[in-house]
A and B are shown apart, each in its own frame.
Chain A
Amino acid sequence: MGGVGDEEPATKRMKLSAGELRGLSNGSSCAEPVAGSSRDLMARPLPSEGDEQVVGSKGVIKRVEFVRLIAKALYSLGYKKSGAHLEEESGIPLHSSFVNLFMQQILDGNWDGSVDTLQKIGLSDETIVKSASFMILEQKYFELLDEEKDMDALKTLRTEIVPLCINGSRVRELSSCIVSPSFGGTPGKNIVRAKSRSKLLEDLQKLLPPTLMILDRRLEHLVEQALVLQRDACIFHNTLNEEMSLYTDHWCGKEQIPSQTLQILQAHNDEVWFLQFSHDGKYLASSSSDQSAIIWEVDVNGGVSLKHRLSGHQKPVSSVSWSPDDHQLLTCGVEEAVRRWDVSSGECLHVYEKPGVGLVSCGWFPDGKCLFSGVSDKSICMWELDGKELECWKGQRSLRISDLEITSDGKQLISNCRENAILLLDREAKVETFIEEDQTITSFSLSRDNRFLLVNLLNQEIHLWNIEGENKLVAKYKGHKRARFVIRSCFGGLEEAFVASGSEDSQVYIWHRGSGELIEALPGHSGAVNCVSWNPANPHMFASASDDRTIRIWGLSGQKVKHRGAHSNGIHLNCNGGT
């Protein structure tokens, strides 16, 4: 051994090796370095290298573990010589010699030998020794069965496996296997029952303590963990397929968030109260106090143009709802009626009314065959498309100003039921749960994955609730202004990582959903912004509706503005909101 001037370090390395081996076998961390090395540490001016027990600036990475992971990764990548050389140079063996013997015995099919070695590896936990022995003997059993040595297999079962006295139910399954792999097939048919030996080794690795046998691809797993954490921490992350590099920490800039008005749509004659993109992002529907609703078309370049003006309501239109297949639209007149429209023709297909009362909210059932609406008598009604009323939930179910949502599996119906409470009605289990706030709730919206509810409150806060299982408040978003009107917020962006809201100060507010950090406050409108809708198909586009009678389409700054000649919606604007 030894290169130049290597006497002392060589001895130290050898001692370290022996200590490592002992430490490895009983799964404890490595032994103390010999006294000599600490003396040397003081003599040397620079830390790192040499025999330091920890590496890295924070001192949390143990040298021995780090080197073993690298050696393992080298072997997995196929660089056997480098792996062996690392083991030698560092003096840190990847596995103890018993473990190496064990692994080889498994791959060679030397079952009795491997069970023997298992006793010598130095496991303190008897149950692990038994479970591992069971696994190995099971392999022996199946390989014998595959070789049609039924009596030998039976002998193994009776004399070696059963005496372990564990896993009785598995023993039962094993004895059934002797007669036939599955009772449907004919006995004696060539079905291979044993798994591969390398798979067995993998399964054993998971069973044995990780210090003994390093798990495959452990280093890769740690690196992936770091990358995922970086991505999650990136509050501007809004583009699919961003490639992540190991060379620098992942970081997205604000330019990923739409912050520039690309288009102003002026087609309504009064306050625009509500708007929503279709599920496929190809259309936008808006509704206004001018008693009409408008269907807009989004072209491939992101340009928005008027497609149909839907007239017929005699009251301001408070909300719209897209059918699950985006072919039809529901509009709701305030305390009036709900109308169903065909998107391609703009024709009104049906009017839903209830004598003596008015409808206040509307929503589609996920199968597209029925619809729900809140009624001014506080009940909720379910209709078939042809107008036949199917069900009616009476009692305090909805308010005069009320939202209505249904989860995409059709199971839960969500509605404002009291000033400071939202009702979640499980239609199947017939169970009602509530979300209760201290403040009046003005509006809410449901996330696409049905797991979260965004609730807007009178006190200018937006609360995020997790409605999976028990209803839990998860986050709060502040900064926008709300005093007199109903302001709406929505989820949006890549994987709904952002929350956007309108505000009475005429700005659009955007927060990062996970961290709650306010990212943008975008001016542009000249009246309160009532509603924001983020395009589900394009994370770089959202639309806002305002009391100033316009709708603004927002996109990334630096994007060229596209507009159509027809209709007065082509105002060319650059660099409007944001920094």
Chain B
Amino acid sequence: MDVDPRHFNQVAINDNDIHNIVLSYLVHNCYKETVESFVASTGTKQPADCIEDMEKRKRIFQCAVEGNAQKAIELTEELAPDLVEKNKDLHFDLLSLHFVELVCAKKCTEALEFAQNKLTPFGKVEKYVTKLEDFMALLAYKEPEKSPMFHLLSFEYRQQVADSLNRAVLEHSNLPNYSAMERLIQQTTVVRQCMSEDNAKNGNPPFSLNDFLRS
């Protein structure tokens, strides 16, 4: 590179690039209306079928986050057939969401049957055994939110599963399963850390993304 790393703020940037970065973020997270208004404001080209695809993915995401795994699976089958079947990890996570729903609704018999029929077949593979034990442990408690496994009932967990589902669907449609924004931030953090390690000898503090964004 011709430019000295310390003079990075003199690198030329293309406006289109910025627009695409923002767009990819919005599309990834299904912000349909924002996309429409952004496209209108900036004149950026919008990929074909983009809106429709976003709508569908948004509904899938919503169902998953709410814990309605069965509906999420149904919708996913429509959009991306066989995706769930082929992706074992994802399938297990979605089924476990349904299991958790049953447990929270105190439907013990149903939960037990569901676990015995749908979840235990996964137990033949080593890596699912611990996860399976985690979920089964929930059954033992009358108040699962007070059990050691309470994090499995949390919003954060459901969001995590919904997120993986979203990425899998994007991949299936041959779209990137990460947004450019994410990658750029990740790369920037690493680069800045490397640079600040050099500067640390001069007494500068290590890189903090938060501080950078606020500055």
Interface residues of A (CB under 8 A from B): 150-151, 154, 157-159, 161-162, 168, 171-176, 178-180, 183-184, 187
Contact = CB atoms under 8 A, between A and B. Distances in A.
B165 interface: no
B141 A158 contact: yes
B205 to A, nearest CB: 40
Nearest to B134: A172
Contacts of B184: none
A158 B140 contact: yes
Nearest to A183: B123
A185 to B, nearest CB: 9
Nearest to A172: B137
Interface in B84-139: 108-109, 112, 115-116, 119-120, 123-124, 129, 132-133, 136-139
- Judged by DSSP, the binding face of B is helix
Contacts of B138: 175
A171 B137 contact: yes
B176 interface: no
A178 B142 contact: no
Contacts of A154: 108, 112, 139
A180 B120 contact: yes
16 contacts: A150-B112, A158-B139, A158-B141, A158-B142, A172-B140, A174-B140, A175-B133, A175-B139, A176-B133, A178-B116, A178-B136, A179-B132, A180-B116, A180-B120, A180-B123, A183-B123
- A-B interface, 7 closest residue pairs, ranked by CB to CB distance from nearest: A183-B123, A175-B140, A172-B137, A175-B136, A176-B133, A176-B136, A179-B120
Most buried by A among B139, B140, B142, B148: B140
Contacts of A161: 140
B145 to A, nearest CB: 14
Contacts of A178: 112, 116, 136, 139
Interface in B123-170: 123-124, 129, 132-133, 136-142, 148
Given A154-B112, A158-B141, A168-B148, A179 B136 contact: yes
Contacts of A171: 137, 140
B137 A187 contact: no
Given A159-B142, A171-B140, A183-B124, A176 B108 contact: no
A239 B77 CA distance: 80
A175 B132 CA distance: 10
Given A176-B133, A179-B132, 4 more contacts: A158-B141, A159-B142, A168-B148, A172-B140
Contacts of B136: 172, 175-176, 178-179
Contacts of A183: 120, 123-124, 129, 132
Contacts of B141: 158, 162
